[in-house]
């Protein structure tokens, strides 16, 4: 007489990969907001509880689905911890520190190029900005976050595009400290300055 096992049925070794694949496709095609953990679970053929087991929250699943070489929330935590004053320069220093690391650059370039594709707009607009950059602005205690976010994102996105994707000179080879000196005050103005 055998006893029945209790608890959640263990997932197959490829369950985590199937969830990530379903999440990437759903986030890219539909966006972060309209995507639910239940829908991702259904597309992966698993129970929603298994998605939470592997990834925790929907935000954690989104960051994992990006397959970035670093969790941007961890990189940006010190920017938030130091407060709004000087946050533009710190934000840019953190961003350049990650992008200038040669081991991290290749997967980041793949992400940046995917954002430039038609389906990639959802990854950036409905996902990355909502899950990563937006909360940074909120945690800094800024007013008008919804109005400030597009300006900050345009500056950071444009910088990434010109420096790393298109490698436009002299920006591409300029030392990071010089980029921060030139661009940091503009980001700071977008963060804390008056908006029209």
pLDDT tens-digit map of 117-147: 655 565 666 666 777 788 888 999 999 998 9
Q: 157 and 128: one domain? A: yes
Residues 24-32 have a mean pLDDT of 76
Q: Is the dihedral of CA 177, 182, 183, 188 positive or negative?
A: positive
DSSP letter at 132? I
Q: 114 and 40: one domain? A: no
Where residue 105 sits, what CATH number does that domain have? 1.10.357.10
Q: Give 152-187 pLDDT, tens digit per residue.
A: 988 988 998 899 988 999 999 999 999 999 999 999
Q: Give CA–CA dist 24/114, Å, rounded.
A: 11
Q: Is the dihedral of CA 46, 50, 54, 58 positive or negative?
A: positive
Domain-terminating residue out of 7, 37, 66: 66
Provide the b/e sequence for 28-41 (b: ≥16 CB within 10 Å): beebbeebebeebb
DSSP letter at 142? -
- The domain in which residue 26 lies consists of 15-66
Where residue 50 sits, what CATH number does that domain have? 1.10.10.60
Q: Given the structure tokens 């010109």, which residue do they identify?
A: 162
DSSP letter at 67? T
Q: 48 and 85: one domain? A: no
Q: 164 and 98: one domain? A: yes
Q: Given the structure tokens 């109005």, which residue do they identify?
A: 147
Tell the burial category of 2 from Cβ atoms under 10 Å away from its Cβ (0-12, 13-18, 19+): exposed
Q: Give 32-78 pLDDT, tens digit per residue.
A: 778 899 999 999 999 999 999 998 888 888 878 777 777 778 888 99
Identify the pLDDT of residue 109. 77
Tally the domains of the chain.
2
Whether residue 92 contacts residue 179, with contact meaning beta carbons closer than 8 Å, is answered with: yes
Half-sphere exposure for 192 (CA within 13 Å, toward CB): 12
Q: 92 and 173: one domain? A: yes
Identify the pLDDT of residue 97. 93
Q: How far is CA 59 from the centre of its chain?
A: 10
């Amino acid at each position: 007489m055998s006893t029945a096992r209790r608890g959640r049925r263990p997932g197959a070794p490829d369950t985590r990969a199937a969830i990530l694949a379903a999440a990437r496709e759903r986030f890219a095609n539909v966006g972060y907001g309209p995507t639910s953990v239940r829908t991702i679970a259904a597309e992966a053929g698993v129970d929603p509880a298994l998605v939470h087991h592997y990834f925790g929250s929907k935000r954690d699943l989104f960051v994992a689905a990006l397959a970035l070489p670093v969790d941007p929330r961890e990189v940006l935590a010190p920017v938030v911890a130091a407060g709004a004053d000087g946050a533009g320069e710190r934000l840019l220093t953190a961003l350049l520190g990650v992008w200038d690391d040669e081991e991290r650059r290749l997967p980041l370039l793949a992400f940046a190029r995917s954002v430039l594709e038609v389906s990639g707009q959802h990854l950036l607009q409905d996902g990355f900005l909502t899950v990563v950059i937006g909360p940074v602005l909120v945690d800094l205690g800024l007013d008008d976050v919804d109005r400030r976010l597009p300006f900050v994102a345009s500056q950071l996105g444009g910088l990434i595009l010109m420096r790393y994707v298109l490698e436009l000179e002299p920006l591409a080879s300029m030392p990071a400290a010089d980029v921060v000196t030139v661009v940091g005050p503009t980001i700071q103005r977008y963060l804390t300055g008056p908006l029209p």
